[in-house]
Structure 1
Amino acid sequence: MTYDPATANPLFGNPLKTRDDVEKGLRDLFTPLLPYFSEGSARVRLDGAGAHFDRAAADLEGFARPLWGLTPLAAGGGDFEHWELYRQGLANGTDPEHPEYWGTVNGIDQRMVELAAIGFTMKMLPHLVWDPLPQRAKDNLAAYLKHTRKFEYADNNWKFFRILVDLGLEQCGVEFDRSYTDTFLKELEGFYLGDGWYRDGNVRRIDHYIPFAMHFYGLIYAKLANGDEKRVADYKERARLFAEDIQHWFDEDGGTLAFGRSLTYRFACGGFWGALAFADVEALPWGVIKGHFLRHLRWWSKLPIANGDGVLSIGYGYPNLFMSESYNSAGSPYWALKAFLPLALPADHPFWTAEEVEADFHAKPVPLKHPGMVMQHTKGNVVALSSGQQNWQMRAGTEKYAKFVYSSRYGFSVEVDERAYHNGAFDGALAFSDDGRHYRVRESNEVAQIAENVLFARWKPWSDVEVETWLIPAHHWHVRLHRINTPRALHATEGGFAIARADLNADTYIDEAGRAVAKSKTDVSAILDLGGKREGRAFRAFPNTNLIVSKTIVPQLRGEIAAGTTVLVTAAMALPAGAEAEAALATPPHAPDLAALEALFAREGVDVSAILVPERF
């Protein structure tokens, strides 16, 4: 039988319009995992790929992560016939004498992450996973959790994992030292920036961990905590504020901004909307929240995100290890099941009874000071102009955080050969080379500011080369103005948006002086030189570099940069193919006035929040 990547997606064909549809989607996602449970049920090993942590932790990840969906299912009254698997797994995985023992935690450890789902399940379903256990198994499970929580957790969203474990221990009547809980709750406050935004630790990144971790866990705590009224009220109010902004990271079709790390968690990005419902926080009208939630699931249902056996793959729009993190094991993608949190709610909850409201985004740019973005909504897409973030700790961290522009429809590309400058995709980026083989792009910023709807950054690809970049929204287009100071000649390549490429080169490529255009059956992408004579190239990028589609075309501008000061002015856009795209192509924006931009920032520029911590090397 020929592998059909669409129908291999367990959500494929599911209309995902009702609570029953969502419940079916969860069951269909879980069922392919059943053959992979170990004999003692404590481990789920899905393939042979490795992560930076040990195999026992990876197997625990495969075991525990489905609980983010299964626990709400049962809490909401749904039947699940495999709880005995989980009871056996909990007993055997925490038994030091059993061959499937998960291993002892002796410091910061991936097991801390996975035990949060177990704590959540113990809090929600003690009658299914705690009460039926024999006393020895209860003692082992309690001892395992209590031992693990003695150690420091990573200085970011991980601090919530201890909180969730403690909720489970408390629910099951296990005594423990609550001072650890109080300490971490206080420390988490240090990550709050204001206006509903957090940072995920004291780092220069503000990404999807804010909705699917910081707020997600905060809203679970707000629903399940006993007492702590002030903090519960704060978490709910922050979520209300955040919803007003984060909705602009989603497009009208339900796609979300492809940006940052851990994108293999896929529809976990929609977990924030379900968490609002779970905590009874009507941050937007229920029909609007429900619309964001369901459209997001439907968007994912159309992509080849599973292997042939229906197991979710590492990747984003398709199986792809190039974009993965060192901490992604085969079980990692099942954090996506966090999206199913609202199944804990009864069918008569207003979230489920509300009529789904269609997205209603306007074309006016939306500035977001904290992540350093200006959001632009176009047909079936949201674009983020971006400055101020960085991540040197993750593989492809530069591509995931430091490009000039990100998109829901077109994603972004990761480079696969640092010694192949002329074959780089460089979508949404400006790359320089001084030897024709190696290259430098923006990795960090020395300054990052926002004024009105414009972003400014100063950055250095080398210590002796300085680039100042202004990013300006321009209706369907955006404009990038770069002022480059270099003591030596360089070559530069600047990329637009990557769009899907058909087999047999069945697309249109326009390579001209001053512009490059790519046209496929579905999309049009263009990049223009508004102030110079760079050569255009519609480049066929290496396969499997883009997150959304496996083969792409990237319009590029290429040319020499002389020693001294050079100003480049670039316009880029991408739209679904059709009259609107052709009209945009025929009416490009004008080059902005540099002196006016400098005056704007001298008068109104404020620092992007993401940059306001020291660099970490």
Structure 2
Amino acid sequence: MNPLKENPLRSRSDFERAVEQLYEPLVPHFSDGKARVRPTATGARFPPVSAELEGFARPLWGIVPLSVHSDFDHWSILRTGLVNGTDPTHEEYWGTADDYSQKHVEMAAIGLALALTPENVWKPLSRNEREQLVTWLNQINEAELYDCNWLFFRVMVNLGLRSVGARHDWEFTQRSLDRLDSFYLSDGWYTDGPRDDQSPIDYYLPWAMHFYGLIYATLIGDEDPERAEAFRTRAEKFATHHIHWFDESGRAIPFGRSLTYRFAQASFWGGLAFAGVNPLPWGVIRGLWARNIRWWLRQPIFTDGGLLSVGYRYPTIKVSETYNSPNSPYWAMKAFFPLALEPNHPFWESAEEPLPELPDEIVQEEAGKVILRDDGHLFGLSSAQDSVHGREKYTKFAYSTEFGFSVAGRMPGKGNAGHDSALALSLDGDLYKIPATATSMDCDGTTLRSRWTPWDGVTVDTWLAPALPWHVRVHRLQTDRPVYSEEGGFALNQLGDDNSAFDHDTRDATVVARYPNGLSGIVDLFGDRTPVVVDEEPNTNLNHPRTVVPTLRGSHQPGEHWLASGVIASPNSETAWNEGFETRTNGDSVEIRNSAGKTVVQCSSSRL
């Protein structure tokens, strides 16, 4: 049930109502003491108290900016929960927040409430209630936090405490900000953690590193002008890069972890507005922000009771992380931050504008991406990144707004390694895996190169290059033992009930699947592998619960092998299959040319 079904999501009042409509389904799930929210029985890796605190705190990211200029009917519930949750003698006490506790994450939203709407969360409290709140929040100044965007949670808490004149640690806050500054690369790019740790570059950059920095710059800018200006300048630069991750309909390229936060993808654009930073015209910024929220709130992301579900474009726990509780998706409420602006702010007075004209190819070397757009299909070729949060989310060859990506299934056999847009290898033909990490990554023009060593004695060097509407992959496999391989194209929505509505064409070295909603295909440019269409395990794809993957299968004896493929996908099932590639080999090198004779990629083992 979509509680926003009748909301057009166009005007400021529409978005104000959206916050209330998203919150209302949570109200029946509040505990008696109003400090905890228990919507379902599923859990996360942390204790239930932290998950139930998420349900209390995360909606504040939307409620607080709404309340700056508008009334919100449920503040009495929230104040009751705030008092009981911070009272050590109450049965719903949130408890201690030890080192690396999930509770520190949720403290940040309460700190924000103190800073922006003290009349709702501070002034109505008694002296004793204030003291217990301050004591509970100050635990974040006594605990160790993960060395990443989590340090901003300490900043948000102390910012809020400071704003109401309560006990806090501003010196520790500044040291945390200094540490966060050390994660900055250049030209608007951060890593989410120490650079020497190969921390990933993912959505935590826009919706955390930049977002919190812009809040700090706005609220403390007069007192800390140098740091505030750095945060604004970095965000200005990043905006000119981040715009390439969004398509005309508002969708953003899915990549990395925590994608169940969904329209948090819009929070960066809202943060720019809150900070008064407009490196793009206000109408463009508002359009990027509004289209993303609107697209998300038209998707089947709700439970029968109107709650935000765990999943991406539909409910599925299979694509979630171990820290995703039933309440985790409400971090998406950060998208509503522009509601804290005056109604006459240029953001609100500007009409939505479409995306400006953007290039078909753009290299983002800091992120290890080549962003490509063609005929309604936005996708990024990608270099692998290190992460403990799921190899499929960081190491595939391509990530697409239209086709999403898939995670590994529960069974270890063929087609269940999450091999769409990936090369999966096996030693026994049964247990397959895709890269968990890569080394020796670089970018040469629009060609990405990386190395993967899945086992001792087995190495894969990969080159990725655009050839719109295609992209080309070349792999140099060196192995001291027999190896099996599966290489997949994009996962295609297996739409509808009528099996006669699709077409699978496997011939020679080519496999293409056509469904009413699109086309996906892959060609073996050396003709050594077998083309098949693989039915993926249900609910493993981010965008669609039932998908197929055009796949090339091979077996390789000890030695050196060159593999090459051309890959195409389109939301138009009538897309012509007319590109021909010419492959030239010369001992230790491979050159791929397109039908016009233009060299797409050159690979040489002597240059590794």
Partner of 1:23: 16
The residue identity in structure 2 corresponding to 1:182 is Q
Pick aligned residue for 1:331 from 327, 335, 357? 327
Partner of 2:184: 192
Pick aligned residue for 2:291 from 291, 295, 303? 295
Q: Note if 1:82 corresponds to 2:77.
A: no
Identify the range of structure 1 (509-518 vs 357-366) with the bigger mean alpha-carbon deviation. Answer: 357-366
Q: Note if 1:563 corresponds to 2:555.
A: no
Partner of 1:180: 172
Partner of 1:32: 25
Q: Note if 1:66 corresponds to 2:59.
A: yes
- Which TM-score applies when normalising by structure 1? 0.93
The residue identity in structure 1 corresponding to 2:263 is F
Partner of 1:55: 48
The residue identity in structure 1 corresponding to 2:280 is L
Residue deviations 1:84-128, cap 9 Å, x none? 111111111000000110011222200100000000010000011
Distance 1:508 1:599 in 2: 34
Pick aligned residue for 1:382 from 369, 378, 381? 378
Distance 2:289 2:367 in 1: 22
Distance 1:365 1:601 in 2: 27
The residue identity in structure 1 corresponding to 2:61 is W
Cα distance, 1:184–1:600 mapped onto 2, change above 3 Å: farther
Q: 1:62, CA displacement in angstroms?
A: 0.4
The residue identity in structure 1 corresponding to 2:226 is K
Distance 1:154 1:510 in 2: 50
Identify the range of structure 1 (144-153 vs 322-331) with the bigger mean alpha-carbon deviation. Answer: 144-153
Q: Note if 1:237 corresponds to 2:230.
A: no
Cα distance, 1:602–1:58 mapped onto 2, change above 3 Å: same
Distance 2:584 2:402 in 1: 27
Distance 1:300 1:167 in 2: 31
Equivalences for residues 82-161 of structure 1 within 5 A: 82-161=74-153
Distance 1:167 1:357 in 2: 35
Task: Tell me the SS of whatever aligns to 1:480.
Answer: strand
Distance 1:337 1:114 in 2: 13
Task: Tell me the SS of whatever aligns to 1:421.
Answer: coil
Residue deviations 1:195-217, cap 9 Å, x none? 10000012431100000110010
The residue identity in structure 2 corresponding to 1:68 is W
Distance 2:436 2:584 in 1: 25
Cα distance, 1:592–1:38 mapped onto 2, change above 3 Å: farther
Partner of 2:597: none
Task: Tell me the SS of whatever aligns to 1:63.
Answer: helix
Cα distance, 1:588–1:65 mapped onto 2, change above 3 Å: farther
Residue deviations 1:448-484, cap 9 Å, x none? 0011111000111212111110000111110001111
Distance 2:36 2:603 in 1: 61
Distance 1:13 1:486 in 2: 58
Q: Note if 1:214 corresponds to 2:206.
A: no
Cα distance, 1:157–1:178 mapped onto 2, change above 3 Å: same
Q: Is the 8 A contact 1:14 1:301 kept in 2?
A: no
Distance 2:358 2:271 in 1: 26
- Which TM-score applies when normalising by structure 2? 0.94
The residue identity in structure 2 corresponding to 1:158 is W
Residue deviations 1:506-558, cap 9 Å, x none? 31111222111111111111111112232211222111010011001111111
Q: Note if 1:493 corresponds to 2:489.
A: no
Equivalences for residues 216-295 of structure 1 within 5 A: 216-225=211-220, 226-295=222-291
Partner of 1:372: 368
Distance 1:195 1:424 in 2: 36
Q: Is the 8 A contact 2:459 2:478 kept in 1?
A: yes
Q: Note if 1:530 corresponds to 2:525.
A: yes
The residue identity in structure 2 corresponding to 1:199 is T
Distance 2:451 2:429 in 1: 24
Distance 2:117 2:18 in 1: 21
Distance 2:307 2:573 in 1: 36
The residue identity in structure 1 corresponding to 2:170 is R
Cα distance, 1:553–1:588 mapped onto 2, change above 3 Å: farther
Task: Tell me the SS of whatever aligns to 1:436.
Answer: coil
Partner of 2:598: none
Higher relative contact order (CA 8 A, sep 6+): 1
Residue deviations 1:48-83, cap 9 Å, x none? 1111111111111100000000000011x1221110
Cα distance, 1:50–1:304 mapped onto 2, change above 3 Å: same
Distance 1:591 1:376 in 2: 23
Q: Note if 1:169 corresponds to 2:169.
A: no
Q: 1:363, CA displacement in angstroms?
A: 4.6
Partner of 1:614: none
Cα distance, 1:99–1:434 mapped onto 2, change above 3 Å: same
Partner of 1:612: none
Identify the range of structure 1 (146-155 vs 523-532) with the bigger mean alpha-carbon deviation. Answer: 146-155
Distance 1:425 1:148 in 2: 38
Pick aligned residue for 2:451 from 434, 455, 458? 458
Identify the range of structure 1 (489-498 vs 109-118) with the bigger mean alpha-carbon deviation. Answer: 489-498
The residue identity in structure 2 corresponding to 1:301 is L
Task: Tell me the SS of whatever aligns to 1:290.
Answer: helix
Q: 1:489, CA displacement in angstroms?
A: 2.1
Q: Is the 8 A contact 1:532 1:568 kept in 2?
A: no
The percentage of counterpart residues that share the same residue type is 44
Distance 1:445 1:147 in 2: 38
Q: Is the 8 A contact 1:429 1:495 kept in 2?
A: yes
Partner of 1:4: none
Task: Tell me the SS of whatever aligns to 1:572.
Answer: strand
The residue identity in structure 2 corresponding to 1:193 is L
Q: Is the 8 A contact 2:36 2:52 kept in 1?
A: yes
Residue deviations 1:224-280, cap 9 Å, x none? 115110000000000000001111111121111111000110000110000000000
Residue deviations 1:337-377, cap 9 Å, x none? 00000011122111111121112344531111111010001
Q: 1:595, CA displacement in angstroms?
A: 5.7
Q: Note if 1:572 corresponds to 2:567.
A: yes
Q: Is the 8 A contact 1:257 1:383 kept in 2?
A: yes
Q: Which runs of 5+ in 1 are unaligned?
A: 1-7, 606-617
Identify the range of structure 1 (333-342 vs 356-365) with the bigger mean alpha-carbon deviation. Answer: 356-365
The residue identity in structure 2 corresponding to 1:385 is L
Cα distance, 1:74–1:588 mapped onto 2, change above 3 Å: farther
Q: 1:152, CA displacement in angstroms?
A: 1.8
Task: Tell me the SS of whatever aligns to 2:366.
Answer: coil
Partner of 1:610: none
Cα distance, 1:342–1:563 mapped onto 2, change above 3 Å: same
The residue identity in structure 2 corresponding to 1:157 is N
Distance 1:408 1:141 in 2: 43
Q: Is the 8 A contact 2:407 2:417 kept in 1?
A: no
Q: 1:602, CA displacement in angstroms?
A: 9.6
Task: Tell me the SS of whatever aligns to 1:322.
Answer: helix
Distance 1:103 1:491 in 2: 51
The residue identity in structure 1 corresponding to 2:513 is A
Task: Tell me the SS of whatever aligns to 1:442.
Answer: coil
Q: Is the 8 A contact 1:252 1:379 kept in 2?
A: no
Identify the range of structure 1 (9-18 vs 342-351) with the bigger mean alpha-carbon deviation. Answer: 9-18
- Shift >6 Å, 4+ stretches: 599-603
Cα distance, 1:467–1:418 mapped onto 2, change above 3 Å: farther
Cα distance, 1:13–1:477 mapped onto 2, change above 3 Å: farther
Distance 1:592 1:291 in 2: 46
Equivalences for residues 340-379 of structure 1 within 5 A: 340-379=336-375
Q: Is the 8 A contact 2:57 2:110 kept in 1?
A: yes
Q: Is the 8 A contact 1:191 1:201 kept in 2?
A: yes
The residue identity in structure 2 corresponding to 1:309 is G
Partner of 2:535: 540
Q: 1:599, CA displacement in angstroms?
A: 7.7
The residue identity in structure 2 corresponding to 1:46 is P
